[in-house]
Amino acid sequence: MTTRAHRALAVAAGGLLTVGLLAAGVLPVPVVVLSVPFLVVAWRRPVLRRLAFRNAARRPRETALVLLGALLGTAIITGSAIVGDTLGASIRRGAFTHLGPIDEVVRAADGQDPAALLAAVRGVRSPDIDGVLPITSVGATVAAPGPTPAAAPRAEPHATLLEVDFAAARRFGGDGGATGISGPTPAPDHAAIETDLARTLDVRPGSTVEVYAYGATRSVTVDRVLPRLGVAGRRPGAGTTAPNLFLSPGTLAAMAAAAPAGAAPPTYLVAVSNRGGVIDGAARTTPVVKALDAAVAAARLRAQVEPEKRNLLDAADAQGRDFTRLFASIGMFSALAGILLLVAIFVMLAEERKTELGMLRAVGLTRRGLIGTFSLEGWVYALGSSALGTIAGIGIGRVIVFVTSRIISRGGPFALDMHFSASLPSIQLGFVVGFVMSLATVVATSLSIARLNVIRSIRDLPEPPRARQRVAWTAVSALFVAMGTLMAVRGLAAKSPAPVLIGPAIAGLGASVVLRRVMARRWATTIAAASVLVWTSISPNLAPDAFHNPDISLFVVNGVIYTIAAVGLVSQHQQLIGRVLRRAGGGARNLSLRLGLAHPLERGFRTSTILTTFALVMFTLVAMTLFSGIFSAQIDGFTKDVSGGFALRAFSNGSNPASADAVRAVDGVSAVSTMLTAGAQFAEPAKPGSFEFWGLAGIDDSFVDLGPPALDRWLPKFSSAGDAWRAVRSDPSLIVVDDFFLQHQGGPPRGHVVPGQVVTMRDPATGAVHQLTVAAVAKVGFIGAPAYTSSRLVTDVFGARAAPDLLLVATKPGVDPQRLAETLNARFLPNGMDAVAFRTSVSEALAQQQSFLHLMQGYLALGLVVGVAGLGVVMVRSVRERRREVGVLRSLGFDAGQVRRAFLVESAFVALEGILLGALLAVVSTWRIVGSGAFGDGLRFAVPWGPVIVVVVLAFLATLVATVAPAQQASRIRPAVALRITD
């Protein structure tokens, strides 16, 4: 068989394999499309193919280092997408565990006849509805005896009591296995218990539990344990667990008949199941909601239709995207470091093969052929690194998910069980983005390399500096100046921070080129870079409105601009820095120092690339360390802000709220303020039709007089924070929120609500809406607080559903608030008391935040791996590139130790310069962000020197470890062999 036949067979086999992978959905289509030109070159130009593949295969160790540096960008993007997949899938799992067949619920208002509502819903004739199920529920405390008679009872203060017909529940939705319901309906004084509640109380079938509700106690026998699934796992609020107890129908009505004043009545709702599966049924939500709304309106009933499953799925998708964006944005620093590493490697490859490339051009290889050779080799690296990076990204995503699950699964109302999920689209996205980044980098570098001069390349002469820039390039740079300036002006007008930062950076880049026509390159770059640094530093003060509510993307933009401008400034003065170091290190006597500094000072572009890599990574690592230290030092200030004149807050069950007088009589309590709470729905100002549940609390005179939480800002018509609180207490049209209002996903506050804005509040039972003006923004969102309004408004809107179940407690001098909280929890167990000191709440919130920051530090450490790997590759290449130079030095009398020290000095100089530069920029940037009030007023900037020094030292030691082997290799070069080497 001829060579041509072999090639045809290979191409046919490759084509069939490609088609098969595409058909299976494994290989991303964009990768195949972008690879076609390179495959054509490899097929039609065998000389270029041999040159490219030979260079990639003849040095496997160095090729492996190149792939390591290049694959991390793909791994970071893939890992970020998988984290988003996991979070979204974990939330979507609630569609099975907490809803099952339930797609919509119709919630009855106070006084509404349940029978009339059920009849109206059952009367809806819609092909999209598969069944209806009435459910009655109320919050209560459930307890079981302790392991010994003397031990305290086990209790769950946040349990839910439910009544449902079990036979109807199993038929509901057409799939009894999705409901979690089994067995007959509990008989009087018997119950079925959900597995989470059974685990908390350590009970099993046959055990007896005590139910506390409506001022009464009732003992019931547990018949069976139900799984957290569907109707059995229904959770009315946020959280992962569903501590449900199913009672005999009529039990709640009997208990509520003797309810004390202030107790919230049971909630009556009708669950609706759409045709289709648990997930597919949500697609029919829109027509079903319209039909239910029409039925409720026609019957003139007071009820509200809530598309619970669609809301849950939408929240899952939104929060998954938020987490993907968060990790991808932070990981962008490491991805940029990987791109810079590729650039540095290809520039070194070109310099190492300079003579070879010149000879190839001299014997007829065209510039296009040279581009094809380098691009084809880069395509091999891009394809290999993307494949390996995708596999590594799956592992990184699993590690992040594991650590994240330990952070957010610690209990509490917003806990979430993480279930690892890696979708094929996310894996393909990581592959495609990593491949495109790597491919674009190598092609752009190849275009630059192809401009070499043949004669200078053959003689291995350096490129002379250009005396003057071309007129066309100057005109393009002037256009950059105009575009950047216009972008900054528009950003200031629109109060958008990103254009305010990016515009001057673009203008500075153009100005550095324009200024070269009238001054030296060094001074033109110095002026432009320094101007960008100054503007980036002072812009938050000049435009505070634009920078008041930054997000993570702005942190990335700020860090990249800071780093590039600072590296540009330092790179123009490296010779001065080198002279200072040589003089400080002993001058001409220290030959190792002079030799070690000579090469990085001579190779300015290469040094700047590695310097930027380290500076980017260290900027983020040190910034996270600074934020961690700053927030951990604010516990006293945060506690003072959120507590006001109180020491602890105590929640109790709405069906059996604790009496303020009874709490006031406890030893150690000096004062108590009672707050009426209700679960309201609010629409963000930017999304007037999108309602979300958020807590609402009505305040009274005692709350204002004893000391409310601190306010961040308030309407100008109020002369003080006290005036604002007094106005809210008496005016039902006002409300106080915090910067985290309607932000369930956490993270830095977006601060989308400001004093004077109008928010829409809706009663979830009746659908009645009320327009409320934001009077002030409070500093309480850090621990998760409700919105505050007048008690009169809460009573008027929510009636009996507004329960006095939140108490703020002030303590006497010398009393430990947390110990008092534990005393209250034990004494008021039947009321479901859940008291906690404000300082404890703040400490727990800070601990969770610290854990997340530590996770981000570990994630960012991948960028340090890029930097260390990049420096290792550079040093390995440098040893190979300079082996003749080392041979000459050894023949002139340099010993092995001097050569080894020289190479260590070279790597240490570049790494330490980048590390210190990144650390300094992080300190300046963090100082500016904290000072601008982006994370709230009152934060005090302080550098935690210990952790910062540890990060810097560890990074520096890692670089030394990575360069020991190349330095040792250089010291072992034998002069006679080195001077005879031709390759």
CB neighbours of residue 57 within 10 Å:
10
Alpha-carbon distance of 859 to 329, in angstroms, equals 12
pLDDT single digits (tens) 16-73: 444 444 444 556 778 888 888 888 888 888 887 887 777 777 767 667 767 776 777 7
Q: Pull the structure tokens for residue 177.
A: 């296995």
Alpha-carbon distance of 732 to 794, in angstroms, equals 9
pLDDT of residue 340: 74
Highest mean pLDDT among 40-44, 369-373, 587-591, 728-732: 728-732
Mean pLDDT of the 684-699 span: 76
Q: Pull the structure tokens for residue 452.
A: 């070499």
Q: Residue 36 in 3-state DSSP? A: helix
Q: Residue 445: which H helix or E strand, with range?
A: helix 424-449
pLDDT of residue 934: 58
Q: Residue 265 in 3-state DSSP? A: coil
Q: Within 13 A of 61's CA, how many CA atoms are on the CB side?
A: 8
Q: Residue 808: which H helix or E strand, with range?
A: strand 803-811
Alpha-carbon distance of 228 to 221, in angstroms, equals 20
pLDDT of residue 783: 72
**The residue to which tokens 């065209």 are assigned:** 366
Q: Residue 267: which H helix or E strand, with range?
A: strand 267-274
pLDDT of residue 299: 86
Q: Read off the DSSP letter of residue 211.
A: E
pLDDT band at 193 (very low <50, low <70, confident <90, very high): very high
pLDDT of residue 747: 45
Alpha-carbon distance of 983 to 979, in angstroms, equals 11
For 16, 17, 37, 521, the CA distances from 21, given in Å and listed in that order, are 9, 6, 19, 52
Q: What is the pTM of this model?
A: 0.75
pLDDT at 571 over 80: yes
CB neighbours of residue 61 within 10 Å:
8
The DSSP line for 275-288 is SS-TTGGGGGHHHH
Q: Residue 155: which H helix or E strand, with range?
A: strand 154-163
Mean pLDDT of the 918-924 span: 88
Nearest in space to 378 (alpha carbons), one of 445, 450, 449 = 445
pLDDT band at 552 (very low <50, low <70, confident <90, very high): low
Q: Residue 693 in 3-state DSSP? A: strand
Q: Residue 392: which H helix or E strand, with range?
A: helix 367-408
Q: Residue 829 in 3-state DSSP? A: helix
**Identity of the residue numbered 483:** M
pLDDT of residue 185: 92
Q: Read off the DSSP letter of residue 735.
A: E
pLDDT at 184 over 50: yes
pLDDT of residue 404: 72
pLDDT at 263 over 60: yes
Cβ-contact 244, 193 below 8 angstroms: yes
On the 0-12 / 13-18 / 19+ scale of CB atoms within 10 A, 941 is middle
pLDDT band at 575 (very low <50, low <70, confident <90, very high): confident
Alpha-carbon distance of 81 to 91, in angstroms, equals 16
- Tell me how far apart the terminal alpha carbons of the chain are, to the nearest angstrom: 35
Task: Map 506-562 to HEC letters.
Answer: HHHHHHHHHHHHCCCHHHHHHHHHHHHHHHHHHHHHHCCCCCCCCCHHHHHHHHHHH
pLDDT at 183 over 70: yes
pLDDT of residue 254: 86
pLDDT single digits (tens) 289-343: 899 988 888 888 888 888 888 888 887 777 777 777 777 777 777 677 777 777 7
**The residue to which tokens 């961690």 are assigned:** 628
Q: Read off the DSSP letter of residue 99.
A: I
Q: Residue 894: which H helix or E strand, with range?
A: none
Pairing of strands 769-778, 216-226: unpaired
Cβ-contact 319, 91 below 8 angstroms: yes
**The residue to which tokens 């899952």 are assigned:** 316
Cβ-contact 791, 678 below 8 angstroms: no
pLDDT at 191 over 90: yes
pLDDT single digits (tens) 794-811: 888 888 788 888 899 999
Cβ-contact 711, 721 below 8 angstroms: yes
Q: What is the CA radius of gyration of the chain?
A: 34
Cβ-contact 396, 71 below 8 angstroms: no
Alpha-carbon distance of 888 to 970, in angstroms, equals 12
Alpha-carbon distance of 923 to 537, in angstroms, equals 12
Q: Pull the structure tokens for residue 311.
A: 């809301």
Identify which has the larger pLDDT, 521 or 470: 521
pLDDT of residue 846: 80
pLDDT at 6 over 60: no
Q: Pull the structure tokens for residue 346.
A: 């290809």
Alpha-carbon distance of 381 to 361, in angstroms, equals 24
Backbone angles phi, psi at 232, to 5 degrees: -65, -30
pLDDT at 980 over 80: no
Cβ-contact 127, 275 below 8 angstroms: yes
- Using a pLDDT cut of 90, give the percent of the chain over it: 8
Alpha-carbon distance of 766 to 109, in angstroms, equals 6
pLDDT of residue 10: 46
pLDDT of residue 264: 79
pLDDT of residue 937: 57
Q: Residue 918: which H helix or E strand, with range?
A: helix 896-931
Alpha-carbon distance of 571 to 614, in angstroms, equals 14
pLDDT band at 227 (very low <50, low <70, confident <90, very high): very high
